[in-house]
């Protein structure tokens, strides 16, 4: 199937980040096979850190409780961890999907790695869709992130994708309520995670209701500017006041988001509503923010831009309710 760009594979339509090796349609792959096609069929190991030094004229070995976490296939050091760190091997992460895929509840669609393997992830499609307004379809996925990096947690949860523009919306009205996080300080237990994920799935209805509510509420230019300024935490100043008089928010990223209000994919659905305004934020974060593809995808799913989208949803709902 050729070389693997960016260590990623996908099946179906080209994903929004537009990178990776396409697996031909109609080819049914198990999670383990998908893992191999994505180029993440490697393991990690902990290697104890120690060193030699001279103390009082004697050569001494200094031992620590720290370890280098190393990719076995390349020898690259991914991070430094303590003895208590529990590494989750990539094959264990992909086995998480076996039961769901065998039962036909999920289908592997995309998988890969970021930053040389510090983040390994898999995305599986859930067999259900819903509409915000007629023609504006949302699809649901399960996203599994297995980070080989100190300070990051194993993160499994639901992702809503707006088909028309492929904006990824990993959220519900309560932060983290549709996600399960497992710290590396304890052993990963797939059965416990599946139980928690079952409870979390009930929260998806909250997002659907919130999105449909936003699509039913009209918004004014002044309200939009206030929304963007609140979201990007713009403080009052003469410059901000002047921009507001010009019909512009005070933050450069906010202005870029507002510029695409009428040109973003899906702008024809519920135009002039809070739903359209909210989607300028998600489109900006997923398709325009940052120059690096790795950084953009990581931030949109797990980092600061994922948090920004969550705050945008909550902020839009609050302002629409009070309008």
To the nearest whole percent, how much of the chain has pLDDT over 90? 50
Spatial CB neighbours of 247, under 8 Å, sequence gap ≥ 6: 221, 225
Stronger pLDDT, 43 or 202, i.e. the higher one? 43
- Once rounded to an integer, what is the mean pLDDT over residues 317-321? 95
How much is the pTM? 0.84
Coil/strand/helix, residue 261: coil
pLDDT at position 35 over 90? yes
The pLDDT confidence band at residue 1, using thresholds 50, 70 and 90, is very low
CA distance 172 to 278: 14
CA distance 252 to 258: 10
- Once rounded to an integer, what is the mean pLDDT over residues 201-220? 86
To the nearest whole percent, how much of the chain has pLDDT over 70? 85
pLDDT at position 281 over 50? yes
């Amino acid at each position: 199937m050729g070389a693997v760009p960016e260590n990623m594979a996908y099946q179906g339509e080209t994903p929004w980040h537009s990178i990776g090796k396409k697996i031909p349609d109609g080819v049914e792959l198990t999670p383990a096979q998908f893992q191999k096609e994505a180029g993440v069929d490697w393991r990690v190991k902990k290697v104890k850190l120690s060193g030699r030094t001279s103390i009082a004229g004697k050569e001494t070995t200094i031992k620590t409780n720290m370890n280098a976490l190393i990719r076995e296939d390349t020898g690259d050091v991914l991070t430094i961890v303590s003895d208590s760190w529990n590494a989750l091997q990539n094959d264990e992460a992909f086995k998480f999907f076996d039961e769901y895929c065998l039962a036909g509840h999920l289908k592997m669609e995309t998988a890969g790695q970021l930053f040389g393997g510090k983040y390994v992830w898999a995305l599986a499609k859930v067999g259900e869709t819903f509409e915000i307004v007629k023609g504006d379809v949302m699809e649901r996925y399960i996203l599994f992130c297995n980070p080989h990096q100190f300070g990051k947690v194993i993160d499994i949860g639901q992702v809503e994708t707006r088909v028309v523009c492929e904006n990824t919306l990993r959220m519900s009205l309560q932060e983290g309520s549709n996600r399960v996080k497992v710290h590396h300080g304890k052993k990963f237990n797939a059965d416990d995670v599946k139980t928690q994920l079952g409870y979390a799935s009930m929260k998806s209805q909250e997002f659907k209701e919130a999105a449909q509510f936003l699509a039913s509420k009209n918004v004014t230019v002044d309200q939009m500017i206030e929304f963007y300024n609140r979201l990007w935490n713009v403080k009052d100043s003469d410059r901000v006041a002047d921009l507001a008089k010009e019909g512009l928010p005070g933050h450069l990223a906010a202005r870029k988001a507002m510029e695409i209000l009428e040109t973003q994919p899906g702008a024809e659905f519920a135009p002039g509503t809070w739903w359209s305004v909210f989607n300028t934020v998600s489109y900006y974060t997923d398709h325009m923010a940052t120059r690096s593809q790795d950084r953009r995808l990581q931030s949109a799913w797990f980092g600061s831009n994922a948090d920004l989208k969550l705050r945008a949803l909550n902020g839009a709902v609050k302002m629409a309710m009070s309008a």
